[in-house]
Structures are given as C-alpha cells and as structure tokens.
Structure 1
Amino acid sequence: MVTIVDYDLYQVPPRWLFLRLETSDGRVGWGEPVVEGRARTVKTAVEELLDTYLLGSDPDPIEDHWQTMYRGGFYRGGPVLMSAIAGIDQALWDLKGKQFGAPVYELLGGKARNRVQVYQWVGGDRPSEVADAARRQVDSGLTAVKMNGTPEFRAIDTPAAVEAAADRLREVRETVGPEVGVGVDFHGRVSKSMAKRLARALDPHDPMFLEEPVTPGHDEALTALAAHTTTPIATGERHYSRWDFKPLLESGAVDVVQPDLSHAGGITEVRKIAAMAEAYDVALAPHCPLGPIAFAACLQVDAVAHNALIQEQSLNIHYNETADVLDYLADPSVFDYGDGFVDLPEEPGLGIAIDDAAVRERAGDVDWHNPVWRHDDGSVAEW
C-alpha cells in the first residue's frame, strides 16, 4: 500500500505557508495552509494533524481524511483548524491527480468551462489613485478590477467620508466604462449604519458587488442592507465551512459567496459550499489574495462549479512587496491572463509545478502581520 511518508512546511515571502506532502511511491503534493499573519500558528496545527492522523496512512481516501481531521478532535471550525485542513486537502488532491495523470477537476466530474475570468486589485489598503491604476489594468487586458472602498471608517462617519468613497468609485467607473466589472471591498471596516449609506451612495456607479459590507458576526444586518441597494452583496472570506455559509444562504441577502480555498477546508469543502450556493441561485467567487498553490486550487473548483462567477488573484497585489505569485512556479506561463481570463491548467493534480529550489531558497521565519489601525481618538479601527 502506498502511504504518506513525509512532509515539509515552508514559510515564504511575502506571507505564505507552503506544504509539501510526499508518498512512498515518490509522488509529491503541494498545499497552501495559511492564515495571513498567523502562519506559525497554522504551521503547528498542520503538524499536529499530519502527525496524529495522516503520516503512514493511505493518501487516497480524501473524504475520510477530511472528516477525521474535522471531527476527530471534537473541537471544530474556525480559521486555524480549517486553514490547516485546507492546505492538507489541497496537497491530497494534488497527489490524487498525479496518481491518475489528470487535473483535479477531471476527478470532480469534469470541467463546466474552459477558462475563468479573473480580477486585479487596484488602489492599495487605503485606496488612492484608483482610476489611473484601473486604467492600466484594463489596458493590459483585464476586464474586472477590485478596490477597497474606504480607509478607516468610524461607526457614524461624516458625509464627506461617504462622498469621498463615492467619488473614488465614480472616477474608476468613468475611466474604465460600463464594460468593466468594478468590485468594491468594504473589508469589514464599516458599521451596519454606514454600510447602508455607503451602499446607497455607490449604487449610481454600478459596482460589480459590495464585498464584506459588515464584519462577520453581524451577518444578520445583511438582510436590511440588501433592501437599501440594488448592488449584489458578496461575503465569505471569513466563513470557514458549509455550516458557516448555511445561515447566509438561508437569509437570501447574499448574491455572491467568497469562500477561501486556503481557509474554508480546501477543495473538498469549497466544492460543497459551491453546490449549496447554486441551490440558492448564489454565485461563487473564491477569495484568494494568496500564493500560486491556493490560486491553482481555486481554479480546480471554478472549473466544475457552474455558478463560478469570477476569481480573485494576487499577482502584483499591494501585499506582495518582497515576492509574487509567479516567483515560485517552474512554468509561470500556466497563469497567463488573456482578455481578462485564465485558461484551466491541464497538467495533473493542481496543474502547476512548484520550483522546489526557489521555495527552499526563500523559506525562513517570515513574520508578516497586518497593521493595527486606530481612529483619531486612539481606539482600534477595523483593518
């Protein structure tokens, strides 16, 4: 019997954690288990799961491994455990695809599309110069962009702050025209009171969607928010399982779910979340401001989910100051974007070849943490 015999974990810049899983027949599978800013914590969780449940076992029964990791420890859910499971699950599917010489999507029933639309971030954490940045991306061939809607935002902020957000979106819309999608990410920075005002102010400029308009924990406010806007509402990057998504879907307030393949249990779980969303006429747009392994995993689910709308990707995102997505690929052309789309990878497994030497050369104690923002009165602001 083929067994899992070894693994390695690599913290690599700018803020990623890569898992290399090896089997007794020489196959290698890659996963990306990470919570941005908590890489060391998730690394420990991955080690605990692998040492407890998977080392020495057959890699084939992925569903059983998933259920064991999720249910076997009694306590379940949350960002750390689900991200650890996610990266291991990605690596197991990579191994499975290489076993059968096929992309993962072929093992999930075969592709429902040939390519996936992608979008590019513009404007940075505190959005500025977004119109010029959006123009450059559209000139390069992309057909959709996403921007942060606001910097720090008070619980009840001023009309000027609302107007500034609307003006930024107006400038982008006037620059790129009506044929380009423009997503606006509230990033959970906005209270439910101000989310209503912002949604109404942004509506005339036709955003593609409003992302995470309230912080997780206040999802009940989305129903009232939906009544204040015609813009589709998107959320889900901080929801970690189908059980987290169930009340969102039942509320009828959400139009796009955004599970993260490195946070929400990997390919196994996000495939199920996508199917649940389809039953509620809700689109799928996986969250992915991460590295090449996470992006490749997203494309496998996008390939088979009929309701997949668009895919986030992090090439040149404002976090990637010391390394970027293509730096760790033996063949960067696998992620070439043509006319705003990326073709589905055709190689076995996740469809990418990781440059082992580049990973080992750059690996170290990468200690990235998001900034802590504060309001003018010194209180902590949502980042």
Structure 2
Amino acid sequence: MSKIVAIETFLVPPRWLFVRIETSDGAVGWGEASLEGHAEAVVGAFETVRDRLIGCDPNRIEDAWQLLYRLGFYRGGPVFMSAISGVDQALWDLRGQTLGVPVADLLGGRVRDRIRVYAWIGGDRPSDVAAAALVRRDQGFDAVKMNGTEDIDWLSGPAAVDAAVERLGLVRDTGMDVGVDFHGRVHKPMARRLVAALEPLSPLFIEEVLLSEQPEAIAQVAAQTSVPLALGERLFSRWDFKPFFEAASIDIAQPDLSHAGGISEGRRIAAMAEAYDVAIAPHCPLGPLALAACLQLAAATPNFVIQEMSLGIHYNQPDADLLTYITNPEVLTVTAGSVAVLDGPGLGVTIDEAHVRDAARAPHRWRNPVWRGRDGSLREW
C-alpha cells in the first residue's frame, strides 16, 4: 500500500506557500497553503501535519482532512485551515495524477466547459482604473474587480463617496463588468451611503461590504440594496459561512480554497450555498496551484459564477507572477472572458519543481502596507 513519506513546504515569491507531498511509490502532489502576511505561521503548523500524516494512505483524503481538523483540539482559523488547505489540494492532485484524470472528474465530472474569470485593476493605490481596465480587456477579460475606496475613515465626507462613484463610472464606461471590493476597510457609518451611491452604476457585486465579524450590520445593508453582496475570504469553514446563509445576507460566497479547507471543504461550502440559492465565486489573489484548485471546483459546481485570477496583480512581480512556476501556462489562457476547464491530470497545472526549489532559497517575508489617516490613526488596508 502506498504511504505518505514526505511533506515539504516552499515559501516562494511573491507571497506564496507551496506544498509538496510524496508517496512511497514516488508519486507527487502539489498544493498551495498561502496565507498572505502570515506564511511563516503556516509553515510552523506543518510540524503537526507531518506528525499526523507521514505513513498514512494518501488516497484517504477525507480521513486526512478530518484527522487534521478534529484531532488538533483547537479548530478553525486562518493558520490551521490554510495548512489543511494546502494538504488537501496536494492529496487531490496526487489522486488525480495517479488515476490520470482531472480532479473535477473525481468530484462528479464537469458541469461546464469554460469558466468565467475576472482580474483586479486597482481603485485605490494605484488609481488609474480606466486604463487598467482597457489593459485587462486586451488580455481577454470581460470582467474586473476594483477597490471601492482608498483607505477611508470611520466617517468621511461626501468627497470620498463622490470619488468612489467617479472611479466606478470610469471603468463602467469601458464596457467591462465590474465587481467592487470594499476590502473590509469600510465601517458601518459609511457602508450604507457608499452602497446606495454605487447602486445606480450596477456593479456586478460588492465584496466585503463590512468585515465578516459584523453579521447583523451586513444583514442591514443587504436589506437595503439590490446589489449582490459577496463575502468569504476571511471565513474558513462551512461553520463560518452558516450564519450568513441562514440570515440570507449574502448572495455570493467567496471561500478561498487556500484558507478554507481546500477542495474538500470548498465543495461542502458550495453545496451548502446552493441550498440557500447562493452563488459561489472562490476568492483567489494567489498562485497557480490555488487557482487550479478553484478551477477544478468550478468545473464541477453548479452554482459557480465567476473566478478571480491573479495574472499581473500588483502583489506579484515580473519574475514571480501567476504563470512563473508552471510549465504549461497555455492552460490558463483567457479568451472572451473565460478559460477552458483544466483537463490535465490532478489539478491540471504542471509545477516546475527545480524553479520552485531555487526560488525558495530566498523565502519571501511579504507584509501588507501600513496606512494611517491624517490624524495618525490606523486605517484598514
């Protein structure tokens, strides 16, 4: 019987954490456990992962998930769940590689042939959103996402609202569909005003209208707007999503498959969402393995609507972008706003292991910027 013999992690630029699992028969699977700004903490969590899984059967993916989640006593949270996510993706990749089929086939098979995608264009710093949208259109996208505001105070005057409306209008004038991300930086005194001002411009969705620890306030905003509300990048399990489904306060669930338990938990969250008539649009400003996991889930998920794609996002670097660490970049080609379902075995992307090992010799230490207002107080990033 095949057993897990090695679990390695690689901190690679720009801010990603790759996971490599090898079995006793020489098979290899890859996953991504990136946790932006806290990758070193996830690396530490892999000490427990190795103690639990070395010597286990790699085909028992659900058993491995439950073992890591339930036997640690402390459950959930971004660090533990990101570690589980990377392991889960790698085990699904392994299984698909072994059987010679894409992960989507193991999830019941595809329900679509192409997957709509969108790219990020800015909206705060940088702020040249119209030009950025045109670049994305030339790259094949027909939808983008932008930040709704610059860093903003708990209470700001009408100029901040007017500026947000102007920026969205500039992008809508390019003919692109536009998702607007409040990024959790807007607080309740401003959220309803901003949503009401942006609603006439018909954004595709508004993301993280408030931080997810404010479920009652999110429900208030949801009751006052027809704009679809999206949320989920800072939720890490089906139990975290449950109250938002029950309150009917979100229209689009955005689990990040590198934070929310990988493909296994993403599949469960999607099924729960479908029962509440909520769509799925996985969050993914990350690397190629995270994106491939999302695309495999999207291929087999009826209530999937659109996928975030980090090609050329400002966090990346010219020599460390979405396609840098894979040898088959053509599978992520964007045409008419979508990519083809990945039909290669496992996750469907092929990692350049030599490049990854070389890049990991200088581990990244990525941190998000610190923003302060005119009075010196911290602003949400």
TM-score (norm 2): 0.98
What is the correspondence of 1:283-294 to structure 2 with a 5 Å cutoff?
283-294=279-290
Is 1:34–1:43's contact at 8 Å kept on the other side of the alignment?
no
2:337 maps to 340
Matched, 1:213 2:212: no
Task: For residues 211-231 of structure 1, give each alpha carbon's deviation from its aligned partner in whole angstroms, at most 9, with x where no partner exists.
Answer: 001012112211110122211
Instruction: State the shift of 1:124 in Å.
Output: 5.7
SS at match of 2:159: helix
Matched, 1:301 2:300: no
Cα separation, 2, equivalents of 1:311 and 1:125: 22
SS at match of 1:19: strand
Alpha-carbon distance change, 87 to 125 in structure 1, aligned in 2, over 3 angstroms:
farther
Matched, 1:3 2:40: no
Is 2:123–2:167's contact at 8 Å kept on the other side of the alignment?
no
Is 1:127–1:150's contact at 8 Å kept on the other side of the alignment?
no
What is the correspondence of 1:108-257 to structure 2 with a 5 Å cutoff?
108-123=107-122, 125-176=124-175, 180-257=176-253
SS at match of 1:318: coil
Matched, 1:271 2:270: no
Is 1:126–1:148's contact at 8 Å kept on the other side of the alignment?
no
SS at match of 1:325: coil
1:377 maps to 375
The residue type paired with residue 370 of structure 1 is N
Cα separation, 2, equivalents of 1:279 and 1:367: 40
Is 1:127–1:151's contact at 8 Å kept on the other side of the alignment?
no
2:365 maps to 367
Cα separation, 1, equivalents of 2:118 and 2:377: 34
Matched, 1:318 2:317: no
Task: For residues 2-35 of structure 1, give each alpha carbon's deviation from its aligned partner in whole angstroms, at most 9, with x where no partner exists.
Answer: 0001122111000001111100111100011121
SS at match of 2:293: helix
Instruction: State the shift of 1:141 in Å.
Output: 2.2
Instruction: State the shift of 1:171 in Å.
Output: 1.2
Cα separation, 2, equivalents of 1:204 and 1:230: 10
Cα separation, 2, equivalents of 1:267 and 1:336: 22
SS at match of 1:220: helix
Cα separation, 2, equivalents of 1:353 and 1:124: 33
Instruction: State the shift of 1:98 in Å.
Output: 1.2
Instruction: State the shift of 1:127 in Å.
Output: 4.8
Instruction: State the shift of 1:152 in Å.
Output: 0.9
Matched, 1:356 2:353: yes
Gaps of 5+ in 1: none
SS at match of 1:110: coil
Is 1:66–1:85's contact at 8 Å kept on the other side of the alignment?
yes
Cα separation, 2, equivalents of 1:168 and 1:127: 12
SS at match of 2:145: strand
Gaps of 5+ in 2: none
Task: For residues 122-144 of structure 1, give each alpha carbon's deviation from its aligned partner in whole angstroms, at most 9, with x where no partner exists.
Answer: 12652511011112212332110
SS at match of 1:183: strand
The residue type paired with residue 308 of structure 1 is F
The residue type paired with residue 238 of structure 2 is R
SS at match of 2:189: helix
Cα separation, 2, equivalents of 1:201 and 1:308: 28
1:49 maps to 49
SS at match of 1:147: strand
Is 2:124–2:151's contact at 8 Å kept on the other side of the alignment?
no
Cα separation, 2, equivalents of 1:60 and 1:69: 15
1:69 maps to 68
The residue type paired with residue 371 of structure 1 is P
2:328 maps to 331
Is 1:199–1:228's contact at 8 Å kept on the other side of the alignment?
no
- Between the aligned residues of both structures, percent identity stands at 58
Cα separation, 2, equivalents of 1:34 and 1:129: 28
SS at match of 1:243: helix
Instruction: State the shift of 1:47 in Å.
Output: 2.8
1:35 maps to 35
Cα separation, 2, equivalents of 1:125 and 1:348: 39
Cα separation, 2, equivalents of 1:314 and 1:243: 27
TM-score (norm 1): 0.97
Is 1:82–1:263's contact at 8 Å kept on the other side of the alignment?
yes
1:97 maps to 96
Is 1:126–1:150's contact at 8 Å kept on the other side of the alignment?
no
Instruction: State the shift of 1:365 in Å.
Output: 2.0
Is 1:127–1:149's contact at 8 Å kept on the other side of the alignment?
no
